[in-house]
Amino acid sequence: MLVVKLKKKRKKEEANLQKRKLKVIISGGGTGGHIFPAVAIAQSLMKMNPENEILFVGANGRMEMEKVPAAGFNIVGLNIAGFQRRLTFSNVLLPFKIIGSLLKARSIVKTFRPDVAVGVGGYASGPMLFAATWLKIPSLIQEQNSFAGVTNRILSKRVNRICVAYEGMEQYFPKNKIRLTGNPVRADLQYLKTKREEAFNYFGLDPEKSVVLVIGGSLGARTINLAMAEGLDRFTKEDIQIVWQTGKSGFAIANEKTSGKSNQGVRVFEFIQRMDLAYAVADVVVSRAGASSVSELALAEKAAILVPSPNVAEDHQTKNAMALVRKEAAWLVSDRDAASQLVDKTISLIKNQHSKQLLSNKIAAMALPGAAGIIAEEVYQLAGS
């Protein structure tokens, strides 16, 4: 009887905790792979209590300064940047930027007085979480990749909780702080099969023909864009339709290459607003291997060919891709081989129903849905502690 009463009391306490108003700082950004998960966490927190106050902290000049306000949240910027591999004057200024960002981050924490601080990766995340932990604010890292970067490994000793998307992350972080939550993805990626008819109408494509979705990430991918541009005629000859997100830098060339091919089922976009419909229409996806992209592919249950970017810290995209390849959940084409192999492999996969289904089944088994809500619950637990 006593046990039952204690359980009821615990449930009541948890319910009250969920209703409590919180002030939360979410820091990071740089690419859509960091921004979209951060926004998803914020949206889950607002569902738990619409009176919660969320403040984003990003890096001035990066895309979060535009995307976060567009999602309805306030953001302040730090004058922080990354280390450049080439010799450049900005590297000389970097120590001063770091010190300035730490001081501003400390000021933000003392002014906003958050209950919890969350870091999602990106330039602003490091200074912000250093400042928050310095001032004894309960803090959480959301590590999206299968290989942890140096900054998060250092921060792991200071923060209270580390939410990860892959198993085996205890090789980088203290085991007692790790929670396997998955990566937050767009909520509209659920129930894609019910959107297929809408998706074909939206893109103006033929539902009787196969579709390849090409996405190089929110900023595009030069190698993928060049390979696709050179292989366009081969796709159209095979009656394969294409939905292609080029990014800002690749749009002009791709638009020129695809001129006059709209009646052949080629659709080119600088940025696709309705990614749920893009996934719904796709039979095969060609993508970079950023953490968010991989998580979206798993939730969407899509057969994919991954082309990891070589221009990221510690080559973590290759490690993300290999985590899938080892489980037969994706195919991989290296960036240096994309020009010679990507089109051939894409056509081969889209014509092989058995391989498509196998990849779809395997990657679906790796999906961890509801990550944003789980991480939001972790935030509430930290606030309660």
Q: For residue range 117-157, what is the model confidence (pLDDT) as tens digits?
A: 999 988 899 999 999 999 999 999 999 988 888 889 999 99
pLDDT category of residue 83 using cuts at 50, 70 and 90: very low
Instruction: Give the separation between CA 191 and CA 168, rounded to whole angstroms.
Output: 30
At 217, phi and psi to the nearest 5? 90, 175
Instruction: Give the separation between CA 176 and CA 62, rounded to whole angstroms.
Output: 34
What is the predicted pLDDT for the residue at 6? 44
Nearest CA to 218 among 146, 288, 310? Answer: 288
- DSSP labels, 209-228: S-EEEEE--TT--HHHHHHH
Q: Is the pLDDT of residue 264 over 90?
A: no
Instruction: Give the separation between CA 101 and CA 88, rounded to whole angstroms.
Output: 20
Q: What's the chain's average pLDDT? A: 89
What is the predicted pLDDT for the residue at 258? 80
Q: How far is CA 42 from CA 95, 155, 163, 169, 341, in A?
A: 31, 21, 15, 24, 40
Q: Look up residue 297 and give its two tokens.
A: 């592919």
Q: How far is CA 30 from CA 120, 181, 345, in A?
A: 10, 22, 31
Q: Look up residue 42 and give its two tokens.
A: 């914020």
Which domains does the chain show, CATH number per domain? 11-184+370-384 (3.40.50.2000), 188-364 (3.40.50.2000)
What is the predicted pLDDT for the residue at 365? 94
Q: Please report which residue ranges of 113-136 form alpha helices under DSSP H.
A: 125-134
Q: Is the pLDDT of residue 106 over 70?
A: yes
Question: pLDDT digits over 41-61, tens only?
Answer: 999 999 999 999 999 999 998
Instruction: Give the separation between CA 355 and CA 330, rounded to whole angstroms.
Output: 10
Q: Is the pLDDT of residue 316 over 70?
A: yes
At 56, phi and psi to the nearest 5? -90, 145
In terms of pLDDT, which residue wins out, 90 or 226?
226
Instruction: Give the separation between CA 167 and CA 189, rounded to whole angstroms.
Output: 23
- Beta strands (DSSP E) in the chain are 23-27, 53-59, 74-78, 116-119, 139-143, 161-164, 178-180, 211-215, 241-245, 266-269, 284-287, 303-306, 331-332
Nearest CA to 207 among 298, 300, 280? Answer: 280
Q: Give 85's contacts (C-beta < 8 A, 6+ positions apart).
A: none
Go through 75-98 and write b for each residue having 16 or more CB atoms within 10 A of its CB, e for each that does not. Answer: bbbbbbbeeeeeeeeeeeeeeebb
In this prediction, residues 271-287 reach a mean pLDDT of 96
Q: Is the pLDDT of residue 3 over 50?
A: no
- Beta strands (DSSP E) in 176-282 are 178-180, 211-215, 241-245, 266-269
CA atoms within 13 A on the CB side of 55: 20
- Beta strands (DSSP E) in 97-226 are 116-119, 139-143, 161-164, 178-180, 211-215
In this prediction, residues 343-356 reach a mean pLDDT of 97
Q: How far is CA 281 from CA 185, 193, 201, in A?
A: 18, 9, 10
Q: Residue 202: helix, strand or coil by DSSP?
A: helix
At 327, phi and psi to the nearest 5? -100, 15
pLDDT category of residue 286 using cuts at 50, 70 and 90: very high
What is the predicted pLDDT for the residue at 89? 45
| Cβ–Cβ under 8 Å, residues 363 and 160 | no
Instruction: Give the separation between CA 94 and CA 82, rounded to whole angstroms.
Output: 8
Q: Which helix (H) or strand (E) holds 379?
A: helix 371-384
